[in-house]
Structure 1
Amino acid sequence: MRRRVTRLVVAIGLMSMVMTAVPASAAPVYQPVIAAPSVTAANGANLAPTPPMGFNNWARYTCNLNEALFVATADRLVSSGLAANGYRTITVDDCWMTGSRDAAGNLVTNSSRFPHGMKWLADYVHGKGLQFGIYEDAGTSTCVGLPASWGHEQADANLFASFGVDYVKLDGCNVPPEPGKTQEQTYHDVYAKWSQALANTGRRMVFSESAPAYFYIGVSDKRDWYKVLEWTPQYGQLWREGDDMGLAEYSAATQWSTIVRNYDYNLPLARFAGPNAWNDPDFLIPGSGITPDEARSQMSLWSMMAAPLILSTDVTALGAAELAIVGNPDVVAVDQDPLGAQGTLVSRNGNTDILARQLANGDRAVALFNRGGSSATISTTTATVGLPGGTGCTYAVKDLWTGQSSSGTTISATVPAHGTAMFRVTPGATCAGAQPTGQITVTSGKCLDDTASGTTDGTPITLYTCHGGANQRFTFPGDGTARTLGKCLTAAGTTDGAAITLSTCTGSATQSWSYRRNGNLVNAASNKCLDVYGGATTTDGARLAVWVCGYNQHNQTWSLPS
């Protein structure tokens, strides 16, 4: 199985949810449950303040690439208006080089495919006002068996700089084991070496890392995957963390299934994302066989997740309908929002997902995703997605696909099979500030659940299949608490195994929680982690407790709303 990916991830450390107080007369300022990662990668600062956008040939063409393809794509990105809308990086993937290095040890461009060479192509792309990207691999050979960079990192970085490269995609096939190192340590060291090599060239090149994917694909124990996600942002700006998108040669049904699969593994990783640090669930594939509704879904979901928008399709053949989807300026604006907060799950109920994403100007983006095979009416409210309202508060709601605007507190649409409705909600001047609101999920995908929606002090909080009920929706008001149905998530004690309950909010340290970049939710009274007792992460009704924090344990790794 071909495994390729691209890169980046996050900072580490404990981030408190206790927020700076605001005057009583002012609407509270939105504060995330965890702050965006603040990391300067070794290869340079502020190289990707918003998610990269552009084109890569792999999913559509694999090794059927040549100079004419990239010239035509560059021309079409400009003439179609996609470049003006942000799609400005053209990346040549695997198969651009010959099967061996030259006598000096340098990579050699395949002249039958690229008769003018890579420097000429980069100059052509730059002449169109675009940026140029190139592929290499960190191992001993690329995923298709061509020369990779193991032992040649600085030479290859220097060569790319001489070409005029702006973006490097570094795959992770065939990385050899090193004596005395784990696989994770070996990947860490080679990606760190590449980042420094790029810095040494003096040319600013965005670094797309594929390391995380090699600890996800086919791996049941994901502890090292999370560890890789913690260090990748130290070295690059984005990273592929899982499986590839389905190739154009696959059936339309298979392509759709890969969109949903990649969405599912990317969605819980919001804590790793932020400016210059982007989770990358792989390419956009409109025009490859999927339906227009499916293409709108992918565009919506990727934009809600602050994902890179990298087309891998025949750009020259995109018709007006496809161009309107990938070029929708309102949807692109959500993806490119400068706050950089990745959207998260408000609720999941069977085939229905409701997502929310905080935007820099105080607006909130909302998506209603129907993964089912028939149309469905999906509804939510502004309060449900984290907008609590207030005296005289009004909301303007814009449907980003139809362009229609309305006002009120209801957000609703009849969503076709495999479709997604997407909205931008703008609070009025008197509205209270947004609060992170949604489901708290463990690695199995199950939810924290207030048993039988009870509000009696001491009601057990357990793990349960997500169903979208109010008793699974928690709000983080910025004071360190997590609240549902008006009461607080509480540790009944400080010893290992102390139960988790719902109780009246008192300001006690047993009700104060902080969220770490590794997914731990830590109780202030004991400095211990929210834990699924006995590791029963797939069992409905599994009891929750506080327990000494372990190393990236699956039963202590949580995804929280933003």
Structure 2
Amino acid sequence: MHFTVIVFASALSVITFALDNGLMRTPPMGWLAWERFRCDIDCEHDPKNCISESLFIDMADRLAEDGWRELGYVYVNIDDCWSSKERDQQGRLQADPKRFPGGIHKLARYMHDRGLKLGIYGDMGTLTCGGYPGTPLDKIEIDAQTFAEWEVDMFKYDGCWSNATEQEQGYPLMSKALNATGRPIGYSCSWPAYQGGLPPKVNYSQLGEICNLWRNYGDIDDSWDSILNIIDWFFENQEVLIPAAGPGRWNDPDMVFVVMTCPTATLQP
């Protein structure tokens, strides 16, 4: 089994003002499905690796039972390809009924019972990067409310199939909508990654006012070359990135890896 443990945020930080939801005063840590499992939905032929309720329950058990939770790895984050291809009759997102038979709310309760938090994924376009229903501007409020009712703890908002104008409107609107639900939901914005990651296109002062963390750069792949490219980019641009980060507002280099070997698994954060 491959078990990917991640640190979502860069340690590059200074004391600055942050999104006023009281969350993520330190860099959030946990596990995210995308790097290892991508959009594998073939549960019939690949049941242990497909994006499903069983996968996230298994990873939650590993964090809770193998000592990772005590080290601060508390987020279990669903990425793309979790939903049904269609919204329900009320226009709400819904989990794929075969792969998530208990639904997202039940999965969130499973996490909370073990002292963990559940994250979920959405996209500003009409479709997600993987081709599932997105959360465009007219769906922001209903989706934020749905996530709150499901007791989700973190939301990653991607930007595939959206343009710069939609992103400029949508990322602040989602921040407002999440806060309006009354549930504390950490907010991860992919906005800067779609703008090249650097000023003047990226306004890091604004990001710190609306987001808890943000993707600065491209996706990580399951290779050391990918990791080194990300490290090099952050190193070369650290003078811009360091002042942007602080309690409640973090640079997100996608994933930071730690490799360990034990008799039953390879742990790769």
Fold shared by both chains (TM-score > 0.5): yes
The alpha-carbon deviation at position 286 of structure 1 amounts to 4.5
| Distance of 1:58 and 1:215 partners within structure 2 | 21
What is the Cα deviation at residue 207 of structure 1?
Answer: 0.2
* Distance (Å, rounded) in 2 between the aligned partners of 1:54 and 1:45: 20
Q: Which amino acid aligns with 2:188?
A: S
CA contact (8 A) 1:95 1:144 kept: yes
The residue aligned with 2:212 is 237
- Alignment partner, residue 122 of structure 2: 136
Partner of residue 170, structure 2: 190
Q: For the structure 1 residues 286 and 8, does the alpha-carbon distance in structure 2 shift closer, same or farther, using more than 3 Å as the test?
A: closer
Amino acid aligned to 2:57: V
Return the structure number with greater relative CO, CA threshold 8 A, min gap 6. 2
Name the CA distance, whole Å, in 2 between partners of 1:318 and 1:206. Answer: 29
The aligned residue for residue 318 of structure 1 is: 266
Whether 2:56 is the aligned partner of 1:100: answer: no
Distance 1:63 1:35, change over 3 A: closer
Deviation per CA, 1:132-155, whole angstroms, max 9, x where unpaired? 110001121100111111110010
| Equivalent in the alignment of 1:63 | 39
Q: Is 2:61 aligned against 1:75? A: yes
Q: 1:199 aligns with which of 165, 179, 202?
A: 179
In the TM superposition, 1:330-345 aligns within 5 A as: none
**Partner of residue 224 from structure 2, selected from 248, 256, 268:** 256
State how far apart, in whole Å, the 2-side matches of 1:8 and 1:91 are: 14
Q: Which runs of 5+ in 2 are unaligned?
A: 1-7, 41-50
CA distance in 2, matches of 1:95, 1:165: 17
- Within the alignment, does 1:122 sit opposite 2:102 as a pair? no
Does residue 1:86 correspond to 2:86, yes or no?
Answer: no
Give the deviation of 1:226 after TM superposition: 3.2
1:148 to 100, 125, 134: 134
- Counterpart of 1:173 (choices 132, 140, 160) is 160
The amino acid across from 2:216 in the alignment is E
Rounded Cα–Cα distance in structure 2 between residues aligned with 1:83 and 1:57? 17
Q: CA RMSD in A?
A: 2.3
* Structure index of larger Rg: 1
Q: Please name the residue that 1:518 is paired with.
A: none
**Partner SS state of residue 30, structure 2:** strand
CA deviation after TM superposition for structure 1 residue 318, in Å = 3.0
Structure 1 SS opposite 2:73? coil
Structure 1 residue matching 2:202: 3-state secondary structure = helix
Q: 1:260-271 residue pairs with structure 2 within 5 A?
A: 260-267=228-235, 268=238, 269-271=241-243
TM-score scaled by length of structure 1: 0.41
Q: Which has the higher strand share?
A: 1
The match for 2:23 is 47
Matched residue, 1:209 = 189
| Consecutive unaligned residues in structure 1, runs of 5 or more | 1-6, 10-33, 177-182, 248-254, 296-315, 327-562
Aligned pair count reads 243
> Structure 1 residue 35: deviation in Å?
5.8
Contact 1:172 1:214 (C-alpha < 8 Å) held by counterparts: yes
SS at match of 2:70: coil
Which is helix-richer, 1 or 2?
Answer: 2
Contact 1:138 1:149 in 2 (8 A): yes
Partner of 1:409: none
Identify which of 262, 282, 294 aligns with 2:254. Answer: 282
Equivalent residue, structure 1, for 2:43: none
SS at match of 2:208: helix
Tell me if the contact between 2:123 and 2:157 (Cα under 8 Å) persists in the aligned partners. Answer: yes
Superposition TM-score, scaled by structure 2 size: 0.84
Shift of 1:72: 0.8
- Residues of 2 paired with 1:37 and 1:154: CA distance? 29
Q: Identity over aligned residues, as a percent?
A: 36
Q: Separation in 2 of the partners of 1:224 and 1:156?
A: 31
Give the AA of the match of 1:243.
G
CA contact (8 A) 1:266 1:280 kept: no
Which of 221, 232, 243 matches 1:246?
221
